[in-house]
Amino acid sequence: MDMFADLAFYLVIIVILVAILASAVKILREYERGVVFTLGRFTGVKGPGLILLIPYVQQMIRVDLRTRVLDVPSQDVISHDNVSVRVSAVIYFRVIDPEKSTIQVEDFMMATSQLAQTTLRSVLGKHDLDEMLAERDRLNSDIQEILDTQTDAWGIKVATVEIKHVDINESMIRAIARQAEAERERRAKVINAEGEQQAAAKLLEAAEILAKQPEAMQLRYLSTLNVIAGEKTSTILFPFPMELGNLMAIKPK
């Protein structure tokens, strides 16, 4: 019995040593860092590679430095021109300071998500619907800059913000379609008016040239007669200028 008791005692000792060794040795991957606390006080950031800790004296919190993707849920936004829309976005960010992300904020993922939602509503509410639809790059940049500034205290770097969807109700879609159609009609009328104006200017210029050279007018008459003669018509009525008749009546000596 004494032998079995001794064997059990040694097994317990071995298990305890293995447990202590397992808690003392940590291996961190290339994209991981360990925030180490000694008796509750921050003592440094370690990693990657093999990390040795003092069991029950030091504790370590793993922090992933890879870029994270955060979906911002659809938010109800009232634009500057009082149009109600639902907007969703996606944010790409990463931890650049493991110490701050662990000590300064309890849950940086939740904090960043909540901040992104409020910032999205705040920024888009200052712009008209047309700007939301046509100037997404500028709005993305504005939101990213605000988020990056506010999350800097948490050791977070916001790299990119992308607005994914701007959902509009059916009545507003029909109103936008009518507005676009009216705008196309306006442009067509403006282009037509500009064409008429240019044509009138060219006709006036041609009239001034013909007025200075009466012979040119006679040539235009003859050219027009030549064109009409090519048509399949039986009778042609065309005013004959008296000046041309006088010129043709003059016989050379």
Question: For 16-54, how does the pLDDT look when each residue is reduced to its tens digit (9 = 90+)?
Answer: 877 777 778 899 999 999 999 999 999 999 989 999 998
Contact 61, 44 (CB under 8 A): no
Fold of the domain built from segment(s) 68-169: Tetrahydropterin Synthase; Chain A (3.30.479)
Please report, as a single letter, which amino acid is at residue 152: D
Q: Is the pTM of this model over 0.85?
A: no
Burial category of 117 from C-beta neighbours within 10 Å (exposed 0-12, middle 13-18, buried 19 and up): middle
Question: Which pLDDT tens digits describe the chain residue by residue (253 residues)?
Answer: 566 777 777 788 888 877 777 778 899 999 999 999 999 999 999 989 999 998 888 999 999 999 999 999 999 898 888 888 899 999 999 999 999 999 999 999 999 999 999 999 999 999 988 888 889 999 999 999 999 999 999 999 999 999 988 888 776 666 666 777 787 788 888 898 888 888 888 878 877 776 776 666 666 666 666 666 666 655 656 565 555 555 445 444 4
Burial status of residue 186 (CB atoms within 10 A of its CB: 0-12, 13-18, 19 or more): exposed
